[in-house]
Chain A
C-alpha cells in the first residue's frame, strides 16, 4: 500500500501550550521508540498494517461511544443547570453560564490546558507537530470542560470537541500498541473522522472534512481506515440515537428551476455573513488573549454572563448547541424578523464564548447561524414573493451548508453534510449553487480561512489545506522546449549516430526504438559504448536496458527532476500517441522555470 500523505514531524512537544495546541505532559518522541519500531518492522513487517485496520474499527466504536456519552452529558448538564424549559426572564439563565464559565476556566488553566479551543487545530497540531500525540488528560479534559461549558449555556458546539476526542482515543490506542511513528501520525485523523462522524451522524461529511481540512489529501490506506472508523462510529451512534438524520427535515422539492435565483440570494447573503463572522472572531480572540493572565480566569465567566443576558432578555435560543432551535426554524416556528435577530445574536454569543477560550466547537454555531439565515431569507422571500414554492425548511437547510462553505471553507464537505443530514438528494442543486457562491464571495472578501487565522494567532505554522488546494503547481508543459536535438532510429549504426550527435546542440540525441520506447543518449555515453563495438553495429544493440521514463506535459514538473542524473534530456510524449513527441526537457529548462516568478 502506498504511504499516506502525512508529513514527517518530530518536534518534541513542550509543556507550556499555546491555546491548548501543545500537549503538556507529553513524553518526548524518543529514539527507543524508533528502535523498537525498527525491531518490530524486522520481526513482524506486516503487523502494523494488519493492526491498522482492526484498530480503525476499535477507534470508531470507542469514539462513537464517547461521543454519544459526550452529547448525553451535555444534555444532562443543560437540564440540571438551565432547567428543562429555559425561557427569557429566568434568572438562572444569567448566572448559570457565568458560573459554568468560571469553573471551566479554572479547570482548563489548572488541570487541562490542552482542552482550550475547538479541537480542529489541536488535532492538526497533533498530526503535524507532535507525531499524532494527544494525551489521555486532554481527552478527559476536553470531554469534561466542553460538556460543562456547552451544557451550561455557552454558545458552542460538540462536534469539534468530538473530533478531538476521537483523535485522542486513536492516539492513546496507537501509542499503547507501540505502533510505528508513521502509523501513529496516521491515527489522529482517523480518530478525528470517527468522532466527527458520530457527532454529525454523517460519515461521508466527516471523512471529507478530515481530508479537506486536516490531512489535505488521501491515499488508499488512509481512506480505508477513515471509512472503517467513521462507519464504525456512526453505527454505534445510530444504535443509540436511531437511524434518523441529525435534524427532522421537512419535505423538500425543487419544483421550479427559477427558484434557484432565490437560493442564489441566500448564497450571496451567506458569502457576506461568513467573512463578518471570521472578522469579529479574528478581532476579538487575540485581544482577549493579550489581556493579563489573571483575566483568563474570568473571561469565560464574563462570556457566560453575556450569553446569559441574551437568553435572559428574550433569546434563550442562542444558548448551548441549538439543534432544537435549528429544528424549530426548519419547521417554520419563527418569523423572519426573529430569525434575523437570532443570526446576529448567535454570532455575538459564539464570538464571545469562543474568544474567551471556553472549550467548545464552531460547527454547531455555524450550522445554527446558517439555518437561521436561510430561514430568514426563505421566510422573507416567501412573504414578499408568495409564489415561491421552496419551504422554509429547505432554505434553512441550504443556509446551513452556505455558512459551512463560507465560514469553515470546506465546500465539498458542506454539500455532502447537507445531503447527509437531510437524506434528500433533490436539494442538491440549490446547495451546490448557494454553497459555491458563498464560498467564492467569502474567499474573495476574507482570503484567510478561520482555522488559518486561529493558527496564526496561536503562533503556529500548520499547513493550510485551502492554500494547498489553491496552490498553483508547475507542470512539465510550463518548462517544455521544442525538440531541438536530432532523433535517430534504433536501427541506425553507431557511426551514423555518432556523426549526427557530433553536430547536435547539447551533444545529445533521442533514439526511437522499435517497440515505441525512447532512449536519450549523450556524446559521452555514446563514446563509451561505441568503444567495444564495430561502427556498423545498430545503436539499439549498444544501449543499456533501461529506457527514458514516460512523461507527459500535464505531469508535475518536479516529477521529472529525479530522472536527470541518469538522462541528459527527457522526451515528453503525447498521451494519445507515445510515438509522438510534445517536446523535450533538460535540467536547465526545469531549473530555469523554477527560478522564474509564478
Chain B
C-alpha cells in the first residue's frame, strides 16, 4: 500500500493505474510537444513565404510609385506608394506619398499628411520644405517662411549642405516673388558665402540677386567668375548686364564685347543676342557722348559743348510743347540764361568752374525734362543715362 499526497492508501491496482496514468500523461505531453513542433514548422514556412512576398511587393510598388512620381504622374504614384506602404511602411515612402499628393494638387490631403509626419519629426528638413511649399500654394506666407526656416535649420539625409542651399535659394525665389527683396538678398548673400566653387551655383545666385534688385552683389559674383582663365559665358554676359544696369558702361561694353565675341555665344537665343547687342551698342554710344573726367581737356570740352546743344534743344522742345510745362521748367531756363551766350572749347578749357556748372546744368535738364516730358529718345536718352550716374560710366 502506498499513500498518496492526500494520505489515502492506494491498493496495488490503483498504484498500477496511477503509474499508467503518469505514463499516459507523459506520452500525451510528448505528443503535444511534437504537434507543437510540427505546427511551428508549418507556420514558420507560411510566415517566411508571406513576409518575403510582402517585401517584394513593397519594393515593387515603391519603385513603381517613384517612377510615376518622377515622370509626372502623381495620381498613379499615390496608389502605388499607398500599396507600398501597406506592405513595407517606412518614413521615406510616406514622404514620397505626401509629395505625390501635393504634386497631384490634393493640397489639403498633402498638408494633413505632412503635418502628421512633421508632428513626429518637427526637425526634418524634407518635411518642413514640403510644408513650406504647400503653405506657398495656399498663400500662407508666415507659415511658408517658418517652414522654410525650419527646413534650413533641420536635419537632412544625404548631402544636407547642398539641400540647405537649395532650400535657401527656393526661399529667396519665394521672397522675390513676394517683392521682399531685402530678406531675399540676405538669404542669397548667405548662400553665396557658403556656396562651393561651382560656377553654375554662383551664376544661379547671381541671377537671383539681379532679380532681388541687388545688381551690385550680382556683379561681384559675375566679375569673380569672369576673371577666371576660362570664364563662363553666362558670367561674362551677367557681368555685362549688371554693369549696364548699374550705369558702368565701360565695364558693360568690355564684358558684353567679350561675351558676344565668344564662339559659345552662338548658342544664345536670338532675343538674348539682340538684347546683349543693344546693351553693347548703348554702352558704346554712352561712352562716346560721355564728357568723362579721364578725357583730355579739349576732348572733354568738345563733348560738353555737343551735349549742351542736345540738351538745350530738348529743353526748348519740352518747354514749347505746353505752356504749363514751360512754367515748371522756368527755373532751368533761367539757369541756362545765366550762362554766357557764347561758349567755346577754349573758354571751357580755361574755366573749369564754368565747365562743371554747364555739366551739372546739362544733367539736371535731362533729368527734369525726363520727369516732365517723358522718357527721351536718341542722344537725349543716352545723356540721361549719364546724367543719372555720371561717376560710374567709366568705372572699372
Task: Please report A residues at the B interface, Cβ cutoff 8 Å.
Answer: 39-40, 42-47, 51, 54-55, 58, 61-62, 65-66, 68-69, 72-73, 75-76, 79, 84-85, 87, 173, 176-177, 240, 248, 250-251, 324, 327-328, 331-335, 379, 382, 391-393
Give B26-81 interface residues, CB cut-off 8 Å to A: 28-29, 32-33, 35-36, 39-40, 42-44, 46-47, 50, 53-54, 57, 61, 79-80
Task: Let me know if B82 is at the binding interface, CB within 8 A.
Answer: yes
Instruction: Determine which residue in B33, B47, B54 has the highest number of CB atoms from chain A within 10 A of its CB, and name it.
Output: B47
Docked CA distance A250–B119 (Å): 8
Contact A334 B109 (CB under 8 A): yes
Q: Which residues of B contact A173 (CB under 8 A)?
A: 32
Q: Which residues of B contact A379 (CB under 8 A)?
A: 112
Task: Let me know if B153 is at the binding interface, CB within 8 A.
Answer: no
Docked CA distance A416–B226 (Å): 70
Which of A62, A177, A250 is close to B120, meaning CB atoms less than 8 Å apart? A250
**CB-CB nearest in chain A for B5:** A46
Q: Which residues of A contact B120 (CB under 8 A)?
A: 250-251, 391
Q: Which of B10-18, B184-192, B208-216, B293-301 contacts A (4 or more CB under 8 A)?
A: B10-18
Q: Which residues of B contact A333 (CB under 8 A)?
A: 82, 97, 109, 112-113, 116
Q: How far is the CB of A144 from chain B (nearest CB, A)?
A: 14
The 8 closest A-B pairs by CB, nearest first: A332-B116, A85-B83, A324-B86, A43-B18, A251-B120, A69-B43, A72-B50, A391-B119
Contact A176 B28 (CB under 8 A): yes
Q: How far is the CB of B87 from chain A (nearest CB, A)?
A: 8
Docked CA distance A47–B109 (Å): 62
Contact B116 A54 (CB under 8 A): no
Contact with A along B305-317 (1 / 0, CB 8 A): 0000000000000
Task: Let me know if B138 is at the binding interface, CB within 8 A.
Answer: no
Q: Which residues of B contact A42 (CB under 8 A)?
A: 4, 8, 14
Q: How far is the CB of A404 from chain B (nearest CB, A)?
A: 23
Q: How far is the CB of A187 from chain B (nearest CB, A)?
A: 13
Contact B21 A65 (CB under 8 A): no
Q: How far is the CB of A594 from chain B (nearest CB, A)?
A: 39
Q: How far is the CB of B13 from chain A (nearest CB, A)?
A: 9
User: Contacts A66-B39, A333-B112, A335-B112 given; 9 further ones with Cβ under 8 A?
Assistant: A58-B29, A58-B36, A62-B36, A66-B43, A68-B43, A69-B42, A76-B50, A250-B120, A334-B109
Contact B18 A44 (CB under 8 A): yes
Which of B36, B85, B86, B89 is close to A65, meaning CB atoms less than 8 Å apart? B36
Contact A43 B116 (CB under 8 A): no
Contact A85 B79 (CB under 8 A): yes
Contact with A along B108-133 (1 / 0, CB 8 A): 11001101110110000000000000
Which of A45, A65, A84, A382 is close to B83, meaning CB atoms less than 8 Å apart? A84
Q: How far is the CB of B39 from chain A (nearest CB, A)?
A: 5
24 A-B pairs with CB atoms under 8 Å apart are: A40-B21, A44-B22, A45-B5, A47-B25, A51-B25, A55-B32, A58-B32, A58-B36, A61-B36, A66-B39, A68-B43, A68-B47, A69-B42, A69-B47, A84-B61, A85-B79, A85-B82, A240-B43, A248-B89, A251-B120, A324-B85, A328-B82, A331-B117, A393-B116
Task: Let me know if B6 is at the binding interface, CB within 8 A.
Answer: yes
| A62-B17 contact in complex given A75-B50, A85-B83, A250-B116, C-beta closer than 8 Å | no
Task: Let me know if B94 is at the binding interface, CB within 8 A.
Answer: yes
Contact B36 A85 (CB under 8 A): no
Docked CA distance A2–B235 (Å): 93
Q: Which residues of A contact B115 (CB under 8 A)?
A: 332, 382
The secondary structure that dominates the B interface is helix
**CB-CB nearest in chain B for A61:** B36
Docked CA distance A248–B90 (Å): 10
| A85-B80 contact in complex given A177-B28, A331-B116, C-beta closer than 8 Å | yes
**CB-CB nearest in chain B for A66:** B39
**CB-CB nearest in chain B for A83:** B83
**CB-CB nearest in chain B for A39:** B17
Q: Which residues of A contact B108 (CB under 8 A)?
A: 335
Q: Which residues of A contact B57 (CB under 8 A)?
A: 79, 84
Contact B89 A327 (CB under 8 A): yes
Docked CA distance A332–B134 (Å): 15
Q: Which residues of A contact B40 (CB under 8 A)?
A: 65
Count of chain B residues with a beta carbon within 8 Å of a chain A beta carbon: 49
Q: Which residues of A contact B61 (CB under 8 A)?
A: 84-85
Docked CA distance A54–B30 (Å): 12
Q: Which residues of A contact B25 (CB under 8 A)?
A: 47, 51, 177
Docked CA distance A72–B43 (Å): 9
Q: How far is the CB of A519 from chain B (nearest CB, A)?
A: 34
Docked CA distance A79–B52 (Å): 13
Q: How far is the CB of B48 from chain A (nearest CB, A)?
A: 9
Q: How far is the CB of B110 from chain A (nearest CB, A)?
A: 10
Contact A44 B4 (CB under 8 A): yes
**CB-CB nearest in chain A for B94:** A331
| A43-B112 contact in complex given A65-B43, A75-B50, C-beta closer than 8 Å | no
Docked CA distance A43–B11 (Å): 9
Docked CA distance A523–B116 (Å): 81
Contact B32 A72 (CB under 8 A): no
Docked CA distance A46–B18 (Å): 12
**CB-CB nearest in chain A for B39:** A65
Q: Which residues of A contact B42 (CB under 8 A)?
A: 69
**CB-CB nearest in chain B for A45:** B6
Q: Which residues of B contact A79 (CB under 8 A)?
A: 53, 57
Docked CA distance A393–B80 (Å): 23
Which of B17, B29, B89 is close to A43, meaning CB atoms less than 8 Å apart? B17
Give B87-112 interface residues, CB cut-off 8 Å to A: 87, 89, 94, 97, 108-109, 112
Docked CA distance A347–B364 (Å): 83
Contact B4 A45 (CB under 8 A): yes
Contact B119 A72 (CB under 8 A): no
Q: Which residues of B contact A76 (CB under 8 A)?
A: 46, 50
Contact B116 A391 (CB under 8 A): yes
Q: Which residues of A contact B10 (CB under 8 A)?
A: 43
Q: How far is the CB of B51 from chain A (nearest CB, A)?
A: 9
Docked CA distance A72–B46 (Å): 7
Docked CA distance A145–B232 (Å): 73
Contact A43 B113 (CB under 8 A): no
Contact with A along B344-357 (1 / 0, CB 8 A): 00000000000000
Docked CA distance A106–B33 (Å): 35
Instruction: Determine which residue in A61, A62, A240 has the highest number of CB atoms from chain B within 10 A of its CB, and name it.
Output: A240
Q: How far is the CB of B93 from chain A (nearest CB, A)?
A: 11
**CB-CB nearest in chain A for B64:** A85
Q: Which residues of A contact B85 (CB under 8 A)?
A: 324, 327-328
Docked CA distance A32–B52 (Å): 51
Docked CA distance A426–B109 (Å): 27
Q: How far is the CB of A32 from chain B (nearest CB, A)?
A: 15
Q: Which residues of B contact A69 (CB under 8 A)?
A: 39, 42-43, 46-47
